[in-house]
Amino acid sequence: MHVFADTVTYHGFWGSFWDIIWWFITIFVFFAYLMALFSVIIDLFRDRKLNGWWKALWIIFLIFVPFLTVLVYLIARGGGMAERSASQAKQAQSATDDYIRQVAGASPSEEIAKAKALLDAGTITQAEYETIKAKALG
């Protein structure tokens, strides 16, 4: 029996269009799984109602049976995940708004009104009033 060396061809890693598509799908599924895994871990530590022992048990299962544990967690506690995530986003937005209000200070109209009151009281001159007004408007 004679086997020709050229009958079996090897196209390499990028040999076929479908091989490339398969690799992209595999990589996508892997990263989607990692995102779900990290979402579950973050949610475990965000949940204040869950006891520390239950958190430890979930982490142990995530280490030894990761894919199944992620699926069970998403099915059993998925609704709570959404609520906790929305609550945290709301708190972060509120903190950001408070910080912006604190840093921004008074509005331009308030600054001009204060400067006008100082001008009327004779505390500042007309030139200083115009400078404050230009700075508030600009």
Pair 61, 91 in one domain: yes
Q: What is the pLDDT of residues 66-101, one digit of tens each?
A: 999 999 999 998 888 888 888 889 999 999 988 887
Q: What pLDDT, on a 0 to 100 scale, did the predictor assign at position 57?
A: 93
Residue from 81, 86, 93, 97 nearest 42 by CA: 81
Residue 33 CA to residue 70 CA, distance in Å, equals 9
Let me know if residue 3 belongs to a domain. no
Q: What is the pLDDT of residues 15-47, one digit of tens each?
A: 678 888 999 999 999 999 999 999 999 999 988
Average pLDDT, the chain: 85
Pair 70, 115 in one domain: no
Pair 62, 116 in one domain: no
Pair 98, 72 in one domain: yes
Pair 85, 113 in one domain: no
Contact 76, 50 (CB under 8 A): no
Pair 37, 98 in one domain: yes
Tell me how far CA of residue 106 lies from CA of 36, 61, 135, 136, in angstroms: 44, 53, 13, 10
Q: What pLDDT, on a 0 to 100 scale, did the predictor assign at position 61?
A: 93
Pair 42, 95 in one domain: yes
Pair 23, 83 in one domain: yes
Pair 82, 130 in one domain: no
Let me know if residue 9 belongs to a domain. no
Give the number of other Cβ atoms within 10 Å of residue 58's Cβ: 20
Let me know if residue 1 belongs to a domain. no
Q: Which domain holds residue 71?
A: 17-105
pTM of the model: 0.57
Pair 74, 43 in one domain: yes
Mean pLDDT (whole number) for 41-70: 91
Cβ burial of 124 (10 Å; 0-12, 13-18, 19+) is middle
Pair 81, 22 in one domain: yes
Number of domains composing the chain: 2
